[in-house]
Structure 1
Amino acid sequence: MGEQKSEPQLFNYAVNLEKRVRANHPLRQIKAVIDFSFVREEVARCYGRNGNESVPPEVILKMMFLLFFDDIKSERELMEVIGERLDYLWFLDYGLDEK
């Protein structure tokens, strides 16, 4: 009888998140209607030029939207869930390996 053996992955296959989010997904409809890039100009004066690189403001706004959209209880829970949900990664314009 055959046995499935666990071996380290030799090849890293690219996953196209665009193909993994169904066509009628609500986040797809929201992303098509709302251009979140407006927030960058609105908050530009609040960002300093020194220090560490920050999370893009449009990504933060999208994360806050996800909190309310899916009734997630806390930002901590949201951060745990983002890495597990392909639709969230796609909505935030992140890839599988990005943090």
Structure 2
Amino acid sequence: MADKDENKKVKTAVALGYDPNEDGAPVVIASGKGALAEKIIEQAQENKIPVHEDSKLADTLSKLEIGEMIPPELYEVVAEILVFVDAMDKIKAKDKSRR
């Protein structure tokens, strides 16, 4: 994507990992823009990992280093996403048990 066209924004993707037994907060495990962002999203979809779109949050999280925990001021919004992911996992589990 060319930066010349201001109407087209370069896609940003950030992957978070969280283990409540080990991590104090979610951790950035992947981050990228443009083609790398597309690859992160593609990998998530191939591995049936739920994808949540929030360009402002992605831009903010992309400023963090890989392995860095999210800052406390983002706990609430990321917690909402984790609830979304958990709900998606439960829906998938129900679908598998019905088969």
| TM-score category of the 2 structures, normalised to the smaller one | under 0.3
Higher relative contact order (CA 8 A, sep 6+): 1
Larger radius of gyration: 1
TM-score by length of 1: 0.26
TM-score by length of 2: 0.26
